Each structure stands twice: as structure tokens, then as C-alpha cells.
């Protein structure tokens, strides 16, 4: 049982699921700061988001494995059991369907209790889950992968959960959502920078393939600045609470993530750059969660 659990823990890229869990929690706590929330709907939103993310990861591995585009996946912390042969493609497909079934059940529960405001976000999210890597759309192969990740793990989750819990749209969650969106996209930008040559061979039209590895890292740096400025601007405009400025404590981590990725010529820096990018995404969200916790308390 232990071996089975460890194998599927790695196959599901479980440590990576934090990048969807955090923005889901963030959307919930922003809503809670605005007023009482329905905990049943909130829990369903979190489960649905994380299971949809897990399904997307399984689908990504499934089609990348079929296409032989493994890149540096063995270096990306999850020590893929699919690559090592501990799980089969059919087993991955079954795992995908299970995750999708749970996500859809959670989405149905939210729809029954919330109604139409959530439908379009679910539809867009499902589209990204299904077609990020899989044919015929293959967003990640058509130069839309980075944009899809930004939308899916930023505005789609944070604003989606907020709308599900409050029934209204607000600029506040949208501005704050740029932080998890940009820094989760940053994880992909690191991967694409170091997978540059593999992506060229496989036909992936990533930003790095189209404009070069240096341009990809510059995009990472510029988007990070924009995320921080969005929070600062929101505070100045009175749309975001001043406590949200706690996220600025993560600036040194953002600088390190960009600096290590700029060393893309040395593939040995890949793991360190990826570690820093993932840590940044998590810490920035945690700081925002703490900020909104303080808003609720005070």
C-alpha cells in the first residue's frame, strides 16, 4: 500500500497541486473578508479546482509521453512513474477520468447552489484542462500555453471562487489574482526556458521557441513587476486592503527565481530555478492569505 501511494503521489505531481490549492483558498478568504461565506460551496470549489488541476497534469503527461516529448520531466521533482514504467498509459487515463469525475461532481454541486454566474468560468476552465496538451487544440503547442496557465491559475480560480461565494464580481480579487497567475506562469516559463531544445524538436511554439530563451526570462521578470504593481495600485486606489502589501516581502524570492533562470545555459541550474519559482508562487499566496486573515481579524 505504501509503494502504491508513493507511486501515485508522484504520478499525480502532488507537490505541484499547491499552485491550484493556494489561489482557491485565496479566492475564498477574499470573499470571507467581504462577508459570511457558505463553507460547503467553498469546500466544493477547492476540491473541484484541485481535481481539475490533477486531471490536467495527467493529461499533459499522457500526451507528452505518447508524443515522446518528455523534455526534462524526470528533473521536475515528480520522478514520473509513467516514464519509469511503474504506471501505464491506460492507468493514467483512468486516473484522469477519476479526477475529472470528482471535479465535475464538485462543479455540479456549486452550479446547483450558485447558478449561472459560475458556468462560463467552469466551461473555460474545462477547455484549458482538456486542451492544454491534447489534440486537436493543443494550446501548449500553439503558443498559448503560458497565457492559458496565467488565466487558469490566476483570474479563473481566484475570481471564480470569489464569484461562487459572493455572487458578484469585484476588481479586488481580479487585481490580487495577478499574483498567483503570474508566479504560476513563472514556473512554466522556467520549464520552457530549460526545455527550449526539446520543445523545438517536438514542435511546441512556446514563447522561448518563438522569441528566444533570454526573451522568455525577460517576460518572467516583467510580468513579476506587473503583479506587484497591480497590488500596489489596488491599495493606492482603495480597491485592495493595505495588508496585501505583505506580498512585497516575496520580492527577493522573485529576483532569485529570475536570476537563476537567466543561467539557462547551465542545465544544472534547472532544478534550483524551478525550486525557487515554485517556492515564490507558494510564498506569495501565503503572504496574501495572511494579509486577508488580518483583514478579517481587524
The pLDDT, as a whole number, for residue 70 is 56
The pLDDT, as a whole number, for residue 72 is 52
Say whether pLDDT at 98 is over 90.
yes
Cα–Cα dist 157/42, whole Å: 12
Residue 158: name the closest of 129, 124, 121, 130 by CA. Answer: 121
pLDDT in tens, 147-203: 989 998 999 999 999 999 998 999 999 999 999 999 999 999 999 999 898 888 878
The pLDDT, as a whole number, for residue 73 is 53
**Quick check: 133 and 64 in contact, CB under 8 A?**
yes
Highest mean pLDDT range out of 83-87, 102-106, 116-120, 200-204? 102-106
What is the value of pTM for the model shown?
0.89
pLDDT in tens, 220-251: 999 999 999 999 999 999 999 999 999 999 99
| Domain extents in the chain | 2-297
Cα–Cα dist 190/199, whole Å: 13
For domain 2-297, give its CATH number from 1.10.600, 2.130.10, 2.60.40, 1.10.3470: 1.10.600
C-alpha pair distances (Å), 21 with each of 131, 134, 258: 21, 23, 24
Residues 6+ apart with CB under 8 A from 4: none
> 3-class SS at 42?
helix
Q: What is the largest CA-CA distance in the chain?
A: 55
Confidence bin at 77 (pLDDT 50/70/90): very low
The pLDDT, as a whole number, for residue 47 is 95
Q: How many CB atoms lie within 10 A of CB 142?
A: 14
Residue 289: name the closest of 113, 185, 161 by CA. Answer: 161
Cα–Cα dist 69/42, whole Å: 37
- Pick the range with the lowest mean pLDDT from 28-32, 156-160, 212-216, 267-271: 267-271
Beta-sheet strands, E only, within 83-137: none
Interval 126-150 mean pLDDT: 79
Amino acid at each position: 500500500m505504501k509503494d502504491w501511494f508513493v507511486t501515485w503521489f508522484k504520478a499525480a505531481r502532488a507537490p505541484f497541486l499547491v499552485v491550484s490549492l493556494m489561489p482557491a483558498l485565496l479566492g475564498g478568504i477574499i470573499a470571507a473578508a467581504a462577508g459570511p461565506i457558505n463553507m460547503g460551496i467553498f469546500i466544493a470549489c477547492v476540491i473541484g479546482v484541485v481535481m481539475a488541476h490533477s486531471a490536467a497534469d495527467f493529461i499533459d503527461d499522457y500526451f507528452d509521453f505518447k508524443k515522446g516529448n518528455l523534455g526534462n520531466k524526470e528533473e521536475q521533482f515528480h520522478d514520473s512513474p509513467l516514464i519509469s514504467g511503474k504506471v501505464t498509459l491506460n492507468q493514467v487515463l483512468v486516473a484522469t477520468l477519476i479526477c475529472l469525475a470528482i471535479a465535475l461532481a464538485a462543479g455540479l454541486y456549486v452550479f446547483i447552489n450558485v447558478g449561472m454566474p459560475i458556468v462560463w468560468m467552469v466551461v473555460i476552465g474545462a477547455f484549458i484542462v482538456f486542451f492544454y496538451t491534447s489534440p486537436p487544440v493543443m494550446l501548449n503547442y500553439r503558443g498559448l500555453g503560458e497565457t492559458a496557465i496565467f488565466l487558469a491559475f490566476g483570474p479563473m480560480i481566484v475570481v471564480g471562487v470569489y464569484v461562487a461565494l459572493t455572487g458578484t464580481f469585484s476588481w479586488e480579487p481580479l487585481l490580487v489574482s495577478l499574483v498567483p497567475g503570474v508566479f504560476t506562469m513563472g514556473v512554466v516559463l522556467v520549464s520552457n526556458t530549460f526545455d527550449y531544445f526539446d520543445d523545438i524538436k517536438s514542435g511546441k511554439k512556446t514563447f522561448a521557441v518563438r522569441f528566444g530563451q533570454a526573451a522568455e526570462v525577460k517576460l518572467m521578470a516583467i510580468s513579476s513587476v506587473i503583479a506587484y504593481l497591480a497590488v500596489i495600485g489596488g491599495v493606492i486606489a482603495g480597491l485592495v486592503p493595505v495588508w496585501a502589501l505583505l506580498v512585497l516581502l516575496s520580492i527577493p524570492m522573485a529576483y532569485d527565481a529570475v536570476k537563476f533562470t537567466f543561467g539557462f545555459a547551465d542545465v544544472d541550474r534547472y532544478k534550483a530555478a524551478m525550486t525557487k519559482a515554485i517556492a515564490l508562487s507558494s510564498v506569495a499566496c501565503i503572504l496574501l492569505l495572511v494579509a486577508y486573515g488580518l483583514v478579517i481579524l481587524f
